[in-house]
Amino acid sequence: MAQSGGNSHSLAADKVGASLSGGVAMMMRTIDLMTVRMHLGERFPAISERLHAQLQKDLKQALTGFGWFWPMGDLFYLIVLWGITESEADALVQRLLKQLHSNLRSLKFDTTGLFIPVNAAHLDRRGRPRIDAIQSLEEGDVEVAVSPPVEQKGPAFAFEPIWNVRKGVVSAFRCIRLNPASAAAATVGEALIAEVQEVTRWGIEDQAVLQHAITEWSKLPPESPCLMIVPVRFETLASAGPRRDYLGLCGDMPHPLRRLLIFEIEQIPDGVMAERLLDVTRYVKSFCRAVMTRVSLEFQHFEAINKAGIPIVACQIGSARNEQKSLQLMERFVERAERHKLQSAVFGIRSVSLTTAALGAGFVYIGGEAVSTPAEAPRGLFKFDAADVYRDISQPEKAGSSPAVA
């Protein structure tokens, strides 16, 4: 794993604050190698690269299914743990430190009297990790005194209405996470995500979205149910640890909600084999009404989606994307989907021109601000047709105001 440079502590703090604020219980630790450098003196640079490589290998093995780590500069590591108890976390850290001592001895260094500080990290009021020194840990005598955890603020969510064009009704709401910092953090941490074996951060975010959707849909009156679309990343279902936790949450879902739930599998790798996609979708099919996918506008492998038995393929129009370019790609997207007998959906439609293009291209489902502003909670079905898109907003009757006929 590449070492983080420059303002890596700040980047790691932003990363954790942005991506791990999903209300999931967690523990954070840092390992400080400053005392190792001081102990070895001028000999440290000669073995630094080998020492880091072995430590990162040990961290990957130890944290699989329990967390992830981030190098913070040349001498610090941030470790995020979940799904285990405090005592189990302390035992894990102890094993890592003993292994670090063993690695140094294998390089012919005397570790007598060497202690390696371990710190606890908690989220501050801005959702960034605050590093608090706890106790220096000596080999063979590891006791970690943990401060009480700081209450974490949950992420913000919204529900995007999805218009069924053929039926002239908004029949579903899509639960999306609203966290402006998350997008920036994903850019900063892209290298980390590519290198860490288990995509545990993504799994936590996906669990938070599903949990929020379940909570809000449980509040809706049963007489006017709407479908709920919940995004989940392909890698969350493809990786054993995140998948286990996610399916555990699915298993706790009330059975009536399963008849309303549509899982939207996103971030499918271009070129994915149909067999692999079928394996991934099989995990969640028993917990939902249907499964759909969301891919990029440039996605090519629609045949795999069709062979996996997935009926709907969606794309997202990003706010930064050139609108004229989007118009061209939308038509091609629908053409490729229809060629493989797939229904098409598009999200993120924010303007009348994009809506017109989506209708002209033949999308069956359309979502975005042009349909309705994402709401804090889902609501019942309501009528919506093309006339509502072009209605003057100054008129008393607003789009989406008419209840749907059951």
What confidence tens digit (pLDDT) does each residue in 21-54 have?
A: 444 446 777 777 877 887 788 888 888 888 888 8
User: Does residue 150 belong to any structural domain of this protein?
Assistant: no
CATH code of 124's domain: 3.30.70.270
pTM (whole model) above 0.75: no
CATH code of 317's domain: 3.20.20.450
Between 220 and 80, where is the model more confident? 220
Whether residues 205 and 331 fall in one domain: yes
* 345, 365 contact by CB (below 8 A): yes
Indicate whether 212 pLDDT > 80.
Answer: yes
Whether residues 221 and 299 fall in one domain: yes
Whether residues 235 and 345 fall in one domain: yes
**End residue of a domain, out of 78, 104, 138:** 138
Indicate whether 57 pLDDT > 80.
Answer: yes
Whether residues 57 and 177 fall in one domain: no
Structure tokens at 292: 């759909």
Q: Given this model, what pLDDT does residue 344 score? A: 97
Whether residues 165 and 133 fall in one domain: no
User: Does residue 396 belong to any structural domain of this protein?
Assistant: no
User: Does residue 143 belong to any structural domain of this protein?
Assistant: no
Mean pLDDT of the chain: 74
Phi, psi of 176 (to 5 degrees): -125, 150
Whether residues 219 and 361 fall in one domain: yes
- Domain count for the chain, please give it: 2
Name, in order, each residue with C-beta under 8 angstroms of 22's C-beta and a sequence gap of 6 or more. Answer: 154, 155, 204, 205, 207, 208
Question: Could you give the CA distance from residue 275 to residue 146 in angstroms, rounded to a whole number?
Answer: 46
Whether residues 71 and 197 fall in one domain: no
What confidence tens digit (pLDDT) does each residue in 284-312 have?
A: 999 999 999 999 998 888 999 999 999 99
Bridge partners (DSSP) listed for residue 119: 30, 133
Query: Strand, coil or helix: what is 177?
Result: strand
Least confident of 22-31, 70-79, 107-116, 220-229: 22-31
User: Does residue 395 belong to any structural domain of this protein?
Assistant: no
The angle at the Cα of 291, spanning 179 to 372, to the nearest 5 degrees, equals 45
What confidence tens digit (pLDDT) does each residue in 339-383 have?
A: 999 999 999 998 888 899 999 999 999 999 888 888 888 988 889
Whether residues 117 and 170 fall in one domain: no
The angle at the Cα of 125, spanning 122 to 130, to the nearest 5 degrees, equals 30
Least confident of 73-82, 332-341, 380-389: 73-82
Whether residues 336 and 205 fall in one domain: yes
User: Does residue 398 belong to any structural domain of this protein?
Assistant: no
- What is the domain extent for residue 96? 8-138
pLDDT mean over 240-269: 89
Phi, psi of 72 (to 5 degrees): -115, 90
Model confidence at 69, pLDDT cuts 50, 70, 90, reads confident
User: Does residue 370 belong to any structural domain of this protein?
Assistant: yes
Indicate whether 402 pLDDT > 70.
Answer: no
Whether residues 101 and 177 fall in one domain: no
Query: Which has the closest alpha carbon to 233: 258, 257, 269, 260?
Result: 269
Query: Strand, coil or helix: what is 224?
Result: coil
Q: How many CB atoms lie within 10 A of CB 178?
A: 11
User: Does residue 173 belong to any structural domain of this protein?
Assistant: yes
End-to-end CA distance of the chain: 55
Whether residues 296 and 377 fall in one domain: yes
User: Does residue 144 belong to any structural domain of this protein?
Assistant: no
DSSP letter for 172, please. Answer: E
Distances (CA, A) of 129 to 9, 21, 216: 9, 11, 29
Whether residues 274 and 317 fall in one domain: yes
**End residue of a domain, out of 138, 171, 206:** 138
